[in-house]
Structures are given as structure tokens and as C-alpha cells.
Structure 1
Amino acid sequence: MKFNRIIVIVMDSVGAGGAPDAAKFGDAGADTYGHIDAAVPLAVPNLRRLGLGKVAHIHDVPTDVVGAYGLMQEISAGKDTTSGHWEFMGNPVDNPFPTFPDAFPKELMDLFTAKTGYGYIGNEIASGTEIIERLGPDHFRTKQPIVYTSADSVFQIAAHNDVIPLEELYRICDITRREVCVGPYEVGRIIARPFVGEQGRFVRTGDRRDYSRLPKRKMVFEYLKEAGCCVVGVGKIGDIYAHIGLTESYHTSNNGEDMAELTKQLLAHRRDKGLLMANFVDFDSQYGHRRDVAGYAKCIEDFDAALGDFLPQLQDDELLVITADHGNDPTWRGTDHTRERVPLLLYSPAFAEAVDVGIRQTYADLGMTIMDNFGLTGLEFGTSFLNELR
């Protein structure tokens, strides 16, 4: 089968357990789908129709599967958003991005001050919602940004819009990406975390921006763009890939906006050959890291309901891929991502039968399949499963 357009939806962090190297990451037994379903049995009829029940540890419901299905396991050295997404597009991360379990060293923060012109408060491992509430008053008093990290390879900078305007926060983050977090401090992402409100009611806004480090290998987006294909990113996609190879990028703030923009771009580019890719972030940011099992379950069910409206809009020459970039089991210890296999669900109205594409040995199989579909070569990693689709 060949398709005029491929649409990829990444359900950020919705893993399916069973990664063979999970123990190396302290995650043996983690299972995002399985543990959520055990606690709050999931009602996901559309995902089941695409084969989710065949690959995730969820309770059995007799369902006629209309899509192809399988699992993918990661070979990158990390379990973060950047590692997962880059591997999708043919660029596995060989060495883990640096993390800072004891917060950032003095020499790095001195460089931050010298380059940005700002001091800082915080510099600790913290929850983003908790730290702005705790340090918000000091932020107003000192006029300095709040700096913090997590178990991920991130340098997060929070500021209230009335203290440091949004564009100034973006400027600080851009400088931090290019001139501060370099060499041994080259974290996976610098994240701008703007917030608004008053003490006791501080709220992060949807104007978050991620500043990814630059990849060292050429990825699928660039090959597609060079071949004259349309490459459209929705949500965090532009930030994750440092806007390299995209022909268009649309920022969104939540899953609802993701689906609305994805649908809009599906229709707007109906005749364009290429790739449309979206990251749905709420599963991870709103519920996984916060260990909110019930909220995570509802988020999956809401996505499934929205998928019910999206699927009928697909045409025979379009292929939908639904996957995840890592796990984030809300029943697991800590607040970090979890090393898991991820579902690989594929659908086109042109499919004649359901197909099990098995356990893929790298996320890069997705990228190689996209390249194969458009007759392109150049990737070093991955095996296409295009010829397995029926």
C-alpha cells in the first residue's frame, strides 16, 4: 500500500508496559495502560477498533478490529520526549541527555546570570505547579525568574506575565538554549513556563515553549521537505524537532486544541502529499507526572471520543498512525517517565483486513515506513512495515 499522506498522532506518555530493558531504568513492571485500566476500567471503543486491546493489558471486550496493530520498543538511551520523538524519525539518541538530581551547579547558574542579565530563585527539583505557588511571592518581590528541573533532562524557567513579559521569557529561554546549556550541560530541552493569577491561585498558561537541542542526524522531516512534501506539525512537534524540516507548525495548548487543529490541517492539506504530525500533551503533563490515575483515565476516554469524530474524515489515500513516545505510569513511584513499549495503531479506510505487525525493535521503524511510502532513502535505522499492511 502507498498513501498520499500519513497522519501521526503521539499520545504523549501512554505506554503499554513490557519494555525488555525496563529494569535498567528502574521501571520493571511499569504499565501505563494496564495499571490505569486495572484501577479505572477504560471505555475506549475507537482505540479498541484500531487494535488497542490486542497490544495493551486492558480488560477484554469483544471487538471487530479494523486497523493494523503492534508494539514498538525504544533503543534510545533515554526515556524522555525528545529521545522518543527523534527515534520515531530515524535519530535514536545514543547517549542520555544530562540530568541534575542535585539541581544545577553554580558554574552553570553563574553563566545563566551572565548571559541573560537575570538572577534566579529556586534552582531545585520540583513540580511546576508547586514551585510557582511556593516561590511566586519571592518572584514578585525579586523580579527574578524561577529556575527548576525534574527527573527529565530539562532546564525550566517560570515567570509571571506581569513580572517578566512573555516575549522576554522566550528571549531568556532562547539565550539559555544557545549560550548557557551547552557542552556537558546540553539538556534535552529548555522549557518556558509562563503563569498568571494571584497567590493561592497561580495558574500556568498555554504559552509554554520547548527549546530542543539540535539533532546530530538528518531526520525524516528534512528528507520529506527536500522531496517537495508538506510537513505539518501540531502542538509540541515544532519545538521537539527544533522546527527543522517543517513546512508549517501550529502551536496548541491542550488536547482539545490539538484535535481541533489536527482536523483543520487534515482538511486544509487534503490534496498535499506529505506528513501531518501532532503531539497530544495532556496525558503526560496534566496527569502522568501528577500521578492522577482517574484524570489520566478520563483524558484517554476523552481522546477516544474525539477520535470517533476524526476517523470518518480520513480518505483511502491517507494512513493514520497512533503511538506514544514513552510511558508515564500514574501508579508508579516518583513522577518521572517510565520505560515501556508503546502501542502502534494504524488505520486507513483502504484496509481490507486487520494485521498484526508484531513487536518492532525500534521506534525508527515508523520513520523508515514513512520514507518507504514516499520512495525516499537515507535513514540509518529502522525497518519498514509498509508491505505488511493490507
Structure 2
Amino acid sequence: MGPVKRVILIVLDSVGVGELPDAAAYGDAGTNTLANTARAVGGLSLPHLEALGLGNIIPVPGVPPASRPRAAYGKMATLSAGKDTTTGHWELAGLVLDRPFPVYPDGFPAALIAAFEARIGRPTLGNRPASGTAIIEELGAEHVRTGAPIVYTSADSVFQVAAHEEVIPVEELYRICRVARELLTGEHAPARVIARPFAGPPGRFVRTPRRKDFSLPPSGETILDALKKRGHAVVGVGKIGNIFAERGLTESFPTRDNEQGVDRTLAVLRTFPSGLVFTNLIEFDMLYGHRNDAHGYAAALAAFDRRLPEILGALATEDLLVLTADHGCDPTTAGTDHTREYVPLLALGPRLRGGVDLGTRASLADVAATVAEVFGFGWPVGTSFYGRLVPEGGGRP
């Protein structure tokens, strides 16, 4: 065994670090989630991420380059087409998509909605891209009156169904979403069908925690599958189980927010001494990026930075920690969609070299290739950066 026997991969959902060369084709020219957020709030204060080398990746107001970064640092491009959650996470896990998942900027085809309504025995409302909170506020009262579920989508490849828990019980909503998942095949196969239950009286509707995703399983082998097949622990924290349709995981721990995501990651580190721990921290994207809330986004980054010493303190001698993202969601843009951006890369461990400039990586799949090399096998896509981290002789730097 080399200097690493456990990899902790934490995805700061949507914390992009600047437009990709093809960003204009996605309507995302000029986007830079991290730097634009920093400018919008007059600079960020992230002392622990700063010490790792976050400001060495790109210029970030308030986060200067570290003179001796604790981590290796760089940024990664998305090789797959698209800018959605599933695409980014699958590529991190070593699966590059040759065609994007379908998206529905004009809503879903009328024939598909008609077939869905016939199967569930109810009419539907909505059928257009929308913010989940906004469309519930707009159509929630009509839904309560008619019993018709609200169907909507977003810039992501998603078919979302919202229903009041007292109008359509949650288990029935889940059944309705399973029907949608069965219908949505072939060219109309979005990455996720999402049940979005809500509660409360008109004017004060709130989404409840019983959201459930019905995801497409990965279309090929991922690093999760490969590790599990080889007998390693593969633990998902947050929405990782949803994104991979629970495939390739030996354990899965859903979370409601970033704080719980960090708490459960720390608990997993105390329980699983080897293998892969794969965490998604969702609040940056879900609560702030999609709502154009730069101040909220900045506060969420600061909150994670305050918890980072706990994560670093929990690292064992033979650990590799990788901090990255899956796409951007620049809260300073006119739209509320994900943005086509590079993602940050910070990699460190007690027995690994810090201060290494890993440059601009061609694919998020470099993470999967690195994990594969850690555990002693090859990966068909991506280029491992593990060799850049290991000191000469493989010992303590």
C-alpha cells in the first residue's frame, strides 16, 4: 500500500472558478461563480481555504495566493457536454458523456405529458421551466383546489413533480414519479425525476424534507462500481446516492444541508478507515446560486471555511482529501441556471506534497483516474495527478 488508503472527495456544489472556452455556446460568457461572488460582496474571507491555496487557482477578491499552499491546486474542465449536476458528478467518477442529457426550455412535449396524465389518472399544472419555490407559490392554491400535481423543469435535465402532502400523500407522489421515470426513456430520458412535496397554507407554502430523486443509473462503469467490485468501502454523503441511483455505493447517508453534510462526513471518517468517501454539499447551488443570492453564497462559503479545520483535523495519516465542484451557478448573472465553468481542485494529505501547481486539467475524470491509481488499478479516461502528490520514495514529505 502506498501513502494513501482512503480518499475523501468533497464536492462544493456549483463553486465554479471561471468560464470554460465554450461557455458562450451555453449563454455563460463572463461567468465566474467564485470571483464574481467575491466582487459582489466586496471580497471574501476564507482563511482556511486561502491557506490550502484557493487563491492560487484564480484571483479571488479577499483570498490572496498563499505563499506556501498546504494543498496541491489547480482547476478542471468538464469534458462532457452539459452543465448539470449528474453530468459533473458522473465525470468526476470517470464517466464522460458523449451527448448531453435532454433539457426542456419550453417544457415537455404535449404527447409525453398526455401519456403521463393518462397513467396517473390526473391532469397536471405548469409544464415549464421554473424556480421550485416560485411555481409552488404561483400554482399551489390551484393544485390544492384541483388535485393536479405541478410539473416543472429547470436548466438541469430534470422532470420535477410538486404536490402538497395533504392533497397527494408523499407515497402517492413517489408512485407518480416512478410512473414518470418509466415513461421517460430514449430521447426523452432526463437525468432525474424529482418528487417535491410541500406543505402549509396558501401564501405560506414550504417545501418539506421528503424530496426524493429517481435517477437514471450511470450509463457505464464508474470508479464507484470499480471500487465496490474490488471490495473497498464506497460511502456517499448527501445526494450522492440519488445522483448515482445508489449504484456503486456500500453505504449512503442523505443530508438536508451543508452543516449536516459536514457532520456526517466527519462521522463517516470515524467509522470507515479506508476506501472512498464521496460527499456533496448542496446549499451553495440550491439555496443561493439558483436564487441569485451572492451574499447568501458568500456566507455559505464562509460557513464551510469555518468547518474546514474539523475536516482537516479528522484526516488520518494515509488520507487524500480532494475539494472540488461539479459546475458553476454564478449568482451574479441575470439567469438562475447552472453555468459552464472550470471547477477548483485542491488535493492534500498528511503524507502528500503541498504547494504543487496541478495546472488546468482537461477533464473532471482526472479525479477518477487518481482514485484508481491510489487503489492500484488503471482507468480508461482522465489523467491521474497522484504521482504529483507522492514525495520521492513515497514517504512523508
TM tier, shorter chain? Answer: over 0.9
- C-alpha contact 2:53 2:65 (8 A) present in aligned 1: no
1:252 maps to 255
1:215 counterpart (214, 218, 242): 218
Gaps of 5+ in 2: 392-397
| In structure 1, distance between residues paired with 2:187 and 2:325 | 28
Aligned residues: 386
**Structure 2 counterpart of 1:383, which letter?**
T
Describe the shift of the 1:352–1:75 C-alpha distance in structure 2 as closer, same or farther (beyond 3 A).
closer
1:46 maps to 48
1:382 maps to 382
Moved segments of 4+, more than 3 Å: 60-64
- C-alpha contact 1:235 1:253 (8 A) present in aligned 2: yes
2:59 maps to 57
Cα offset, 1:318, TM superposition: 0.8
1:280 maps to 281
**Counterpart mapping for 1:76-115 below 5 A:** 76-115=80-119
| In structure 2, distance between residues paired with 1:224 and 1:62 | 35
| In structure 2, distance between residues paired with 1:350 and 1:289 | 38
1:262 counterpart (256, 259, 265): 265
- C-alpha contact 1:66 1:351 (8 A) present in aligned 2: no
**Structure 2 counterpart of 1:80, which letter?**
D
Cα offset, 1:324, TM superposition: 0.3
1:153-184 per-position Cα deviation (integer Å, ceiling 9, x unaligned): 1111111111122222222212211x211112
TM-score by length of 1: 0.96
Name the % identity: 49
| In structure 2, distance between residues paired with 1:5 and 1:62 | 28
1:170 maps to 174
| In structure 2, distance between residues paired with 1:290 and 1:77 | 24
Range 72-81 or range 47-56, more displaced: 47-56
**Counterpart mapping for 1:151-170 below 5 A:** 151-170=155-174
| In structure 2, distance between residues paired with 1:221 and 1:118 | 39
**Structure 2 counterpart of 1:350, which letter?**
R
| In structure 1, distance between residues paired with 2:95 and 2:121 | 35
Secondary structure at 1:151 match in 2: coil
| In structure 1, distance between residues paired with 2:122 and 2:173 | 11
- C-alpha contact 1:148 1:156 (8 A) present in aligned 2: yes
2:319 maps to 318
- C-alpha contact 1:33 1:57 (8 A) present in aligned 2: no
- C-alpha contact 2:40 2:332 (8 A) present in aligned 1: no
Range 109-118 or range 240-249, more displaced: 109-118
1:96-125 per-position Cα deviation (integer Å, ceiling 9, x unaligned): 111112111111111212333332111122
The alignment's C-alpha RMSD in Å is 1.4
| In structure 2, distance between residues paired with 1:352 and 1:241 | 31
1:47-75 per-position Cα deviation (integer Å, ceiling 9, x unaligned): 11111001133125363411111100011
Cα offset, 1:385, TM superposition: 0.6
Range 27-36 or range 112-121, more displaced: 112-121
| In structure 2, distance between residues paired with 1:257 and 1:118 | 37
2:351 maps to 350
Gaps of 5+ in 1: none
